[in-house]
Chain A
Amino acid sequence: MLVASSFVGLVLAGLPIAFVLALTAFIYIAATGNFMLLQSYGQQMFGGLENYGLLALPLFILLGEFMNAGGIGRRLMNFALAFLGSVKGGLAYVNLISNMMMASILGSTVAQITIMSRLAVPEMERAGYPRDVSVAITAAGGLLAPIIPPSMLFIIFGVTAQIPIGDLFISGIVPGLMMFGMFIVVIAFLGRRYAFPRSASSSWTERFHALKDALPATLIPILIIGSILGGIATPTEAAAIATLAAIFVGMVIYRELSFADFGPAFVNAARNAAVVLFLIAAAQVFSWVITFENVPAAVATWLQSITTSPVLFLLMLNLLLLCLGMITDPIPALILIVPVFLPVATDVYGIDAYQFGVIVCLNLTLGLLTPPVGTGLFTAALMGEVKAERIAFLIIPFLAAVAVVLLLIVFFPWLATGLKGIVG
């Protein structure tokens, strides 16, 4: 009780969550008088990061930095534009498809919204789309990042759940494609309502040039997904190879990346990775301490007294995740949820760990676009210079689409686990 109340108090006071975890571990040790644990505290904190799979995290962040500097995103968008511009509402689909391609390179919603707001929103506004709708579509496109591989959340889930990250990536592909399909339907609906314009049709020469220009850029997602699907490289190696490829394409082919960009790229990647990695290290200490209190077992007993149905359990979990996602970022929420609920889900309710992972990651991402604490929402609002309330209203159909996908995965687990069985 002491631990739980101090935990909530510290979070609400605004103490960084990683330090809440580390400090609560101390409080627990002091409360139980188990001072022997202190002798292993440092070792546990360091040991929480001794994991080969985690190396993928700073590398995918680094890849994003180089992609950003190397002009790759713009080419992917021009490519989609050349082929789809003349369709009614073409630019909206172009935005979504570019987001899809970016999602297969980047693993972070906020990074993706930052890049795509800069690329897509001005273009759409020039073509006569309402600005607020353009921003909302861009923000919704960011929801593809955590589900289309590579995904930062999947890496963290794989590490904390101790399951192969490559297989998790594969599990995300079908749900990701489903989301993409649903978003197309939503955009078609928005297109009627807001009378989306058409852009001028491109000539075949223009299309050929756009294709040629984008080809090296498309190499990168193909490299990542292909090498992981084919079992040639681990996700960590795939990230390293893709980063090397992004540097090559940016410097040699597009000539937009210079050595001057290297320093900031490495420092930014190190800073962003450190926030997440230190959170994981602190979570390791925290969950190591709470296992002494046997929290997962207590939660399991309590849940079993409410329901024995796996589907009902998953629906309740979704509700909890939605609330948690609204007030905190997905990564800390994920780190808190997994050690307590994953053992319950797999051992008590017989739920597949991959199904669980896809549901948790997808659900928590919704929180990025919902007030009051929605980093993605505020990023999109800031970059697009539109009021956050307006975007929060406009993205409701997209969020509803994600909710439908979530429900489908709850009722049909093979949507998440099927492809893994076929490929593996």
Chain B
Amino acid sequence: MSQISEKEVGSKPGSYSRRSDYARRVSNRIAQVEAPAAGVLIAIVFALLIANVVTRAMTMPVYWIDELAIYTMIWSAFVGASLCLNKKSHIAVTLLPDMLPARIADVFLAGVNLLLIAFFMVFAHVLWRWFDPVTVMTSESLNAFSQATFNFIYDEPTTTIGMRKIWFWLILPVFCLTGFLHSFANLLDVIARLKRGEG
């Protein structure tokens, strides 16, 4: 519900608020996908664990269920962690900002969002170097890539599922992108609010 009021705030006339309005719409649209996705993933974790109990009780345990349940939970965690940036529900110590006047608190909030953006940019750089997409594209094979770079990201197997781990690691770049977009929209909201306060 909170994003609706933010939208109303953002759609007031002014050059800055139009840009912030667009970023807010993108962020909210992503959140609309993230919420059900995280919920479905948790439902899958639940179903997998029930399946585990049932198959074990029938003395025919399926050995890969546990590992798959863990990866599903991790996906849900990263999708949810991004969503919580949109909903602003991460745990933070707001003792100091709460004591300050609203405008100064907003300056702090802008700083916090800038820090988040900085984090996601560094994280993107780190992930880019780890996934190394350009070198992979130009390598003859994944094997040749691993041998040339000593980066075994594309070789790492899962223990029981029979898939490479890279498929599960792919949630990290998704998290990085969506987290960045949410933080960016949050930043523009605060700046728009600060500008309006000045005018």
Contact = CB atoms under 8 A, between A and B. Distances in A.
Interface of A: 10-19, 22-23, 26, 38-39, 41-43, 45-46, 49-52, 54-55, 58-59, 62, 233, 236-237, 239-241, 243-244, 262-263, 266-267, 269-271, 273-275, 277-279, 281, 327-329, 331-332, 372-373
Contacts of A38: 126, 129
A49 B77 contact: yes
Contacts of B77: 49, 273-274, 277-278, 281
Interface of B: 35-36, 38-43, 45-46, 49-50, 52-53, 66, 69-71, 73-74, 76-81, 83-84, 87, 89-97, 108-109, 111-112, 115-116, 118-119, 122-123, 126-127, 129-130, 151, 168-169, 171-172
A54 B76 CA distance: 13
Nearest to A375: B91
Contacts, number: 180
Chain B binding surface, main DSSP class = helix
A327 B96 CA distance: 11
Contacts of B119: 19, 22-23, 26
A267 B43 CA distance: 9
B53 A233 contact: yes
A271 B35 contact: yes
Given A274-B38, A274-B76, A328-B93, A39 B151 contact: yes
B164 to A, nearest CB: 14
26 contacts: A12-B95, A14-B109, A15-B112, A19-B90, A19-B116, A19-B119, A39-B151, A41-B123, A46-B74, A46-B171, A50-B74, A54-B73, A55-B73, A62-B46, A240-B53, A243-B46, A263-B36, A266-B40, A267-B39, A270-B35, A273-B76, A273-B80, A275-B81, A281-B77, A329-B91, A372-B95
A46 B172 contact: yes
Contacts of A12: 93, 95-96
A19 B115 contact: yes
Contacts of A16: 90-92
A18 B81 contact: yes
Given A273-B77, A274-B76, A278-B81, A39 B116 contact: no
Nearest to B183: A19
A42 B130 contact: yes
Nearest to A247: B46
